[in-house]
RNA sequence: GGUACCGUAGCUCAGUAGGUAGAGCAGAGGACUGAAAAUCCUCGUGUCACUGGUUCGAUUCCGGUCGGUACCA
């Protein structure tokens, strides 16, 4: 049976380098599951694999779309599953690595089908929020999908907006589409998460941010500044520099903010990974040892979902 | 040297017409099925600089000390 090896972990934990190492050892390829490395216009600020790293192992889903494109988890799941079907014809093992937990989960156990939402409908929901605030969204969801209203995070406009978009688009309650049933994949999945001591990870993050600045993050961000309203650019490392360009803070403050926000992002990633008990947490040293023993026929680990 | 203002949570500050205090940020924990590096939730006892005095009671009023800032010399 085929195996997908997932290498997850917080930002700056060394996923890229480690993945390349095992990809080389197993003679296989890497699927990126990083919602920002998808974009071809972004490099330095998202710590995308370098040219040299890309040349050491074949990577998929790195710089494959534009920040102008609409691309969501469902698109990613579809593309990744299609690709895995192909890859498993010639490979026993494939590696998936990245920090976007939702995207990894979509590939590992699927995501419910829901119809696409037209831009006009999204605009209409956005308008409702802008004019009526959170209250308007809450009232509308309570009215159109009371069952979902009971379980959503009612303070989170994003969740409410999403539900309304689907309601308006389909004329059915959002919850009618939320089956929440994990699909069985036809391949084994082995999940690893890179474990770091908090202080050590913070040091790595700070160092990496300083390096990004040295490598020209300012120039990259400056070039992207005109497109700052695109969602892809609502990203740590860019939004703080945009604020600096607009005179809202000094460069020094912007850099400090990038470090802080990156730490907070790492924390959120760990929260996400921790609740999924299928992950085996390993330090980089332990990961090296595990890599040596990896065989394509490792039995599947129990999923917690 | 003189005058004025300030000294309150890790940081920036608010406040108490005298009954021991609260926001933002940071930090910690968490949520999250199509914006996910996004979005959202929960968590605040700190010699209220120090020291005398007035008072039943002072972080709050008065004096002094120390530290900081500004202006005048």
Q: Which of A174, A170, A119 is nearest to A141 (CA)?
A: A174
Give the bases of strand B that a protein CB approaches within 7 Å: 26-41
Crossing angle of helices A73-90 and A101-109, rounded to 10°: 60
- Strand B, CB < 7 A, residues 210-239 of A: 231-232, 234-237
Q: For chain A, how many helices (H) and strands (E)? A: 12, 6
Strands A30-32 and A188-194: unpaired
Q: Determine whether the distance from the CB of A260 to the nearest atom of strand B is below 7 Å.
A: yes
**Can you tell me the ipTM of this complex?**
0.92
**How many Cα atoms are found within 13 Å in the side-chain-facing hemisphere of A102?**
9
Can you tell me which residue has its alpha carbon closest to the C1' of nucleotide B33? Answer: A111
Q: Determine whether the distance from the CB of A102 to the nearest atom of strand B is below 7 Å.
A: yes
End-to-end Cα spacing for chain A: 21
A258 CA: nearest nucleotide by C1':
B37
Structure tokens at A128: 């409702």
Structure tokens at A114: 């829901």
Question: What is the helix (H) or strand (E) element at residue A288, kind and residue range?
Answer: helix A284-293
pTM, rounded to two decimals? 0.92
Is the CB of residue A98 less than 8 Å from the CB of residue A32? yes
DSSP A43-111: -GGGTPPPHHHHHHS-EESSS-B-TTS---HHHHHHHHHHHHHHHHHH-SEEEEE-S-HHHHHHHHH--
Q: How far does Cα A62 stand from its chain's mean position?
A: 12
CA of A296 to C1' of B65 (A): 76
Q: Which phi and psi (to 5°) does residue A101 adopt?
A: -55, -45
- Strand B, CB < 7 A, residues 163-192 of A: 177-181
Q: Determine whether the distance from the CB of A267 to the nearest atom of strand B is below 7 Å.
A: yes
Q: Which of A184, A186, A304, A273 is nearest to A6 (CA)?
A: A273
Residue A110 backbone zone (phi > 0: left; psi -120 to 50: alpha; other: beta): left
CA of A263 to C1' of B56 (A): 52
For residue A196, the 8-state DSSP code is -
pLDDT at A292: 74
Query: Tens digit of pLDDT per residue, chain A (305 long)?
Result: 899 999 999 999 999 999 999 999 999 999 999 999 999 999 999 999 999 999 999 999 999 999 999 999 999 999 999 999 999 999 999 999 999 999 999 999 999 999 999 999 999 999 999 999 999 999 999 999 999 999 999 999 999 999 999 999 999 999 999 998 889 999 999 999 999 999 999 999 999 999 999 999 999 999 999 999 999 999 999 999 999 999 989 999 999 999 999 999 999 999 999 999 999 999 999 988 887 776 544 444 444 44
Is the CB of residue A296 less than 8 Å from the CB of residue A92? yes
Q: Which phi and psi (to 5°) does residue A45 adopt?
A: -70, -15
pLDDT at A295: 56
pLDDT at A290: 81
Q: Which of A302, A301, A297 is nearest to A26 (CA)?
A: A297
Cα separation of A75 and A262, whole Å?
Answer: 26
Cα separation of A147 and A163, whole Å?
Answer: 11
Burial code (b: 16+ CB inside 10 Å, e: under 16) for A47-69 equals bbbeeebbeebebbbbbebebee
- Strand B, CB < 7 A, residues 107-166 of A: 111-114, 116-117, 126, 153, 155-159, 161-162
CA of A253 to C1' of B4 (A): 32
pLDDT at A182: 86
């Amino acid at each position: 049976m085929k195996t997908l090896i997932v290498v997850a972990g917080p930002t700056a934990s060394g996923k890229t380098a480690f993945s390349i190492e095992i990809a080389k050892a197993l003679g296989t390829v890497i699927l990126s599951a990083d919602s920002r490395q998808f974009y071809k216009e972004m490099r330095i600020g998202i710590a995308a694999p370098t040219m040299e790293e890309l040349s050491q192992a074949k990577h998929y889903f790195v710089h494959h779309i534009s920040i102008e494109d609409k691309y969501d988890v469902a698109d990613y799941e579809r593309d990744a599953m299609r690709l895995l079907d192909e890859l498993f014809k010639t490979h026993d093992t494939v590696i998936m690595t990245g920090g976007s937990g939702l995207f990894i989960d979509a590939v590992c156990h699927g995501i419910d089908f829901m119809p696409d939402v037209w831009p006009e409908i999204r605009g209409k929901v956005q308008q409702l929020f802008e004019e009526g605030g959170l209250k308007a969204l809450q009232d509308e969801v309570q009215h159109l999908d009371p069952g979902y209203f009971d379980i959503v995070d009612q303070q989170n406009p994003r969740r409410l907006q999403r539900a309304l978009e689907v309601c308006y688009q389909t004329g059915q309650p959002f919850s009618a589409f939320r089956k929440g049933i994990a699909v069985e994949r036809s391949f084994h999945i082995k999940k690893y998460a890179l474990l770091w001591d908090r202080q050590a990870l913070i040091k790595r993050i700070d160092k990496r941010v300083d390096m990004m600045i040295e490598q020209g993050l300012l120039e990259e961000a400056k070039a992207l500044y005109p497109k700052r309203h695109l969602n892809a650019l609502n990203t740590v490392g860019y939004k703080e520099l945009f604020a600096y360009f607009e005179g809202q803070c000094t460069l020094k403050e912007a850099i400090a903010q990038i470090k802080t926000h990156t730490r907070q992002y790492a924390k959120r990633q760990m929260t996400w990974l921790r609740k999924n008990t299928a992950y085996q947490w390993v330090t980089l040293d332990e990961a090296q040892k595990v890599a040596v023993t990896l065989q394509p026929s490792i039995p599947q680990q129990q999923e917690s979902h």
